[in-house]
A and B are shown apart, each in its own frame.
Chain A
């Protein structure tokens, strides 16, 4: 009865800071091998080859072309504006997101579930709609008299809007798993509320906050839809890097657009890797 021979369950080592591996894994067979081939093919056609094309195209102008593109005032100010706005939005998210997650997990009040639903809205809302929603409130005929249209503040608000859920949703599950006994022990030993949060709770949250911050920063760096209409995309003033790339593409300057793309990808990579290190270090300490 060949059908009963099950694959021996290999003992798996749960490495520090990693989710424990599933209780058993299989070697690739004919069917799964074919599946892997198709999955790889699809990924190559859709993601890998196109991104390689961006990198190769960016080098078409040589070093001089690279430097020329980046020293173009419209390009350099767009990149600087984008990075600074993304950093600012991420910094706010780290504080506000942790706070909102805390309230969602530790507080009980009428409308808590509704608050939780509202936090998902920016995820589900199309970016262009997010932009139009903000225009309805902060546009030129703002009903509350606050016009942010064509200002850099508009970019900041739009980024906060679209990245709201990242830190909240990263921190929330970790906070739920946290054992309140530790905090009670801290309190019974006479530690103040702030000391308990900073010394006992926060260290456990750091990896989750870093993960949420990385997502929030990466998203902010590439955000286009929600930002473009309300910022007006004025070159050298309110034009973000994505809007600059689009205008380069529309002017058939694909090489220039690729240069900006590569710079953005490298910045995103540096920040993601950096925050990943923070995550691991914190996980090891915990």
Chain B
């Protein structure tokens, strides 16, 4: 059986891939809200018959209060802003969004977001695999450390990075000696953005990896697949929606990070000014509608990412 060709192995791997959910463990314990962080966890959909929340007046009251709260808190201000964005006409909006400083800020934001999301996706996949599949000393410390950015103010994140990588920081001298400027420069923005979006991919992957377990992987190993083949043909296909979900969440968050970036970027016009920084700048310069216009671009990205995620989520069921 040593003569198995590569194709044989890959064929078998495809078959293993189809044995889906073989490793799914028991139902979640209700006492464990999975400590997930930074985002709603995609749930495998379940179709249970609707259960009425009580009868008549109570149900209607609860429903109206819930809807009213969300509408007044979120939708109403959002709608008012959209009205004001286009209050001066479409021309004013287009002029505001295509102004040179707006274009450079959009480009910078996209560049930074892509870089930090790529870094965090690779890191997130590695960290999630380590946490779910291996047992080693310091595993729970690693697990806890990944969540730290969620509980830390973005301003503290920026401050922390300045203290290490700034001109007078721990590594500032060494970095300056090799001609690298991190703070008040693009690398600093990438670092700050990566800090803030660090947990998002990991937290999406860990529950899914726990659910699929190791059976697939062990079957693949038994069939003679090496680690890379198992990763590409077994693990990644199983977690692809969770991974996509984490990437979309990270992108949305990365494009819009303000606090941490504000601290490390120094807000140099047309150089380190990202979209959120430009929005704030325009508002302080009393160009309220200009601020709303660039905000609209970010709202569009945010809503788009929510819709993409909503489309991705049901696919998890099949």
Chain A positions near chain B (C-beta within 8 angstroms): 1, 3-4, 6-7, 9, 17-20, 22-28, 31-32, 35-36, 38-40, 42-43, 46-51, 53-54, 57, 96, 99-100, 102-104, 106-109, 111, 115, 117-129, 132-139, 143, 157, 160-161, 164-165, 169-174, 176-178, 180, 193, 204, 207-208, 211-212, 215, 218-219, 221-225, 228-229, 241-243, 245-246, 249, 254, 257-258, 261, 264-265, 268, 272, 279, 282-283, 286
Contacts and interface: CB of A to CB of B under 8 A. Distances in A.
Interface residues of B, number: 122
6 contacts: A47-B198, A115-B66, A126-B256, A137-B80, A225-B259, A249-B162
Contacts of B35: 211
Interface in B149-193: 149-165, 169-170, 191
A192 B238 CA distance: 46
Nearest to A228: B280
Contacts of A160: 73
Given A47-B145, A136-B80, A26 B170 contact: no
Nearest to B214: A24
Contacts of A135: 283, 288
Nearest to A246: B155
Most interface-central of A7, A133, A136 (chain B CB within 10 A):
A136
A215 B74 contact: no
A165 B40 contact: yes
Interface in B186-230: 191, 194-195, 198, 209-210, 213-215, 218, 221-224, 227
Given A19-B32, A54-B160, A126 B58 contact: no
B33 interface: yes
Dominant secondary structure of chain B at its interface with chain A:
helix
A39 B163 CA distance: 22
Contacts of A283: 29, 31-32
B227 A31 contact: yes
A17 B40 contact: no
Given A54-B156, A129-B276, A133-B295, 6 more contacts: A7-B214, A20-B26, A107-B63, A125-B298, A132-B292, A223-B153
A108 B23 contact: no
Given A1-B1, A23-B214, A24-B214, A261 B150 contact: no
Given A132-B291, A215-B37, A224 B299 contact: no
Dominant secondary structure of chain A at its interface with chain B:
helix
A219 B222 CA distance: 46
B225 to A, nearest CB: 9
A246 B213 CA distance: 45
Contacts of A107: 50, 52-53, 59, 62-63
